[in-house]
């Protein structure tokens, strides 16, 4: 069951594992191994397919999130709930990135202008 709304969870430690996985330790003592492989696409996340860059993940002590030097970060609740929500989040991102950019119908503009 996902974390109740309003619950604050922070990450105390993160360890990089082979295969773009993270071992995450939360402030409530829970631990999670998260495979981010299917998440690593698009302009921000795709560069983290580079294992050396992926391995530069750190815990931000002020926010309790994991962050990478390129600005990518993940909410601790997402990582905590990854077994329940991870694949849905990946599918939503894939759909968003696959959606074609909105197109302008120039003929409609021309017709409206009386051309």
Q: Is 5's pLDDT higher than 70?
A: no
- The reply to whether 48 falls in a domain is yes
Mean local confidence (pLDDT), 81-85: 91
Q: Are 23 and 4 in contact (CB under 8 A)?
A: no
Number of domains in the chain: 1
Between 7 and 36, the more confident residue is 36
Residue 7 vs residues 4, 23, 44, 84: alpha-carbon distances, Å: 6, 21, 27, 16
- For 59, the domain range is 11-112
Q: Is residue 4 part of a domain?
A: no
Q: Which residue has the higher pLDDT, 17 or 110?
A: 17
13 pLDDT above the threshold of 60: yes
Is 3 among the domain residues?
no
Query: Residue 107 pLDDT more than 50?
Result: no
Predicted confidence band of residue 106 (pLDDT cuts 50, 70, 90): very low
Least confident of 14-23, 26-35, 84-93: 84-93
Report the CATH number that the domain containing residue 81 is assigned in CATH: 3.30.2020.10
For residue 113, name the pLDDT band (cuts at 50, 70, 90): low
Domain contains 5: no
**What strands lie across the sheet with 21-26, from one edge to the other?**
11-17, 21-26, 31-35
Q: What is the mean pLDDT of residues 8-32?
A: 96
Task: Determine, yes or no, domain membership for 2.
Answer: no
């Amino acid at each position: 069951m996902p974390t109740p709304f309003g619950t604050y969870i922070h990450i105390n430690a993160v360890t990089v594992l082979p295969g773009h996985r993270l071992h995450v330790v939360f402030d409530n003592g829970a631990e999670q191994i998260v495979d981010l492989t299917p998440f690593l696409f698009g302009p921000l996340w795709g560069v983290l397919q580079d294992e050396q860059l992926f391995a530069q993940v750190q815990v931000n002590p002020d926010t309790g999130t994991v962050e990478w030097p390129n600005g990518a970060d993940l909410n601790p609740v997402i990582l905590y709930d990854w077994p329940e929500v991870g694949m849905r989040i990946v599918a939503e991102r894939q759909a968003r990135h696959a959606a074609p950019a909105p197109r302008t119908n120039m003929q409609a503009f021309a017709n409206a202008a009386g051309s």
